[in-house]
Amino acid sequence: MEVIETSKKIQQLALHSRAQGEKLVFVPTMGALHRGHLELLSIGKNLGTKLILSIFVNPTQFGPNEDFAKYPRNLPNDLELAKNTGVDIVFTPSVTDIYPPGDQTAVEVGEKSKRLCGTFRPGHFAGVATVVLKLFNIVQPHVAIFGEKDYQQLQIIRQMVADFQMPIDIFGAPTIRENDGLALSSRNKYLSANERAQALAIPKALNAAKFMRQNQGKIAPEQIEISVRSNLLDSGFTNEQIQYASVVDAETLNPITDFSAPARLCVAAYVGKTRLIDNIAL
């Protein structure tokens, strides 16, 4: 496994590999790797011939009062995990490599970035789209893999790739969970034992909603939203802690009033100081 720190070097290598007929598969992450990330890498192993992982905590996707400085970082451990998962190249750029002095271009996906998390994290998805566009240009992948755990992010990347006619296949990978249902996240490290127990109410509420949807033929999206919120409130969440519990169109992310098209239930809530997101297909 090769570790490359500069965009220039990895871009040259990527272009060369492409010319040699290699199929490049790319998994972008912010590190602090867990089983969710490793699942993306394992999927990637079967989708091409060269597996590239990037580890970059992207400053532009964090708000001024968010956790950029204290975001968990553990490169030696990440490299060990990557090696054991069959990664061929790890790209670990510096902030100035990705955002060189004088850099002044950003990209923003329209409507989809304004919904759900976009309401509460202004600028977040512009930061995500910009860094992903840069990474795509640097790494030159044929395929890129993103987790459904960050469902809105996945849909925004799909939109950008379609809008810019980028010749990249986007693969959405299912959410990996702990045995008790909590979605794996690098931010779970922030949770105390009590908070960890409270956080479990989120996947439970998602599963209860899915059950309602499957067993109550005529249920409206709004009734599901009310029930999810009420389950979370019963588990000790306050209304202020629940940023949203929304049933949306699975592709456009627009609010819906019936289940005539595929739908997604998306939740964002604070547990103590930690903001968690999760979602499920309905």
Which of the residues are catalytic? 37
Tokens for 111, please give them: 């409507």
CB-based contact 269:243 (threshold 8 Å): yes
In the complex, least distance from residue 16 CB atom to ligand AMP, rounded to whole angstroms:
26
In the complex, least distance from residue 85 CB atom to ligand AMP, rounded to whole angstroms:
13
- How many residues make contact with ligand AMP (CB under 6 A)? 17
**Residue closer to ligand AMP (CB basis): 123 or 212:** 123
Residues 25-44 that bind ligand AMP (CB under 6 A): 29-30, 36-37, 39-40
CB-based contact 208:280 (threshold 8 Å): no
CB-based contact 282:265 (threshold 8 Å): yes
Helix, strand or coil, per DSSP, at residue 51: strand
In the complex, least distance from residue 146 CB atom to ligand AMP, rounded to whole angstroms:
4
**Residue closer to ligand AMP (CB basis): 39 or 225:** 39
What is the Cα–Cα distance from 20 to 15, expressed in whole angstroms?
9
Residues 164-223 that bind ligand AMP (CB under 6 A): 173, 175-176, 183-186
Q: Taking the C-alpha atoms of 219, 225, 231 and 234 in order, what is their torsion angle to the nearest 10 degrees?
A: -130
- 50-84 in b/e form (b: 16+ CB < 10 A) is bbbbbbbbbebbbeeeeeeeebeeeeeebbebbee
In the complex, least distance from residue 233 CB atom to ligand AMP, rounded to whole angstroms:
25
What is the Cα–Cα distance from 135 to 129, expressed in whole angstroms?
10
**Residue closer to ligand AMP (CB basis): 84 or 230:** 84
Binding mask 131-160 for ligand AMP (x = CB under 6 A): ---------------xx-xx----------
**Residue closer to ligand AMP (CB basis): 73 or 83:** 73
Point out which residues bind ligand AMP (CB under 6 A): 29-30, 36-37, 39-40, 146-147, 149-150, 173, 175-176, 183-186
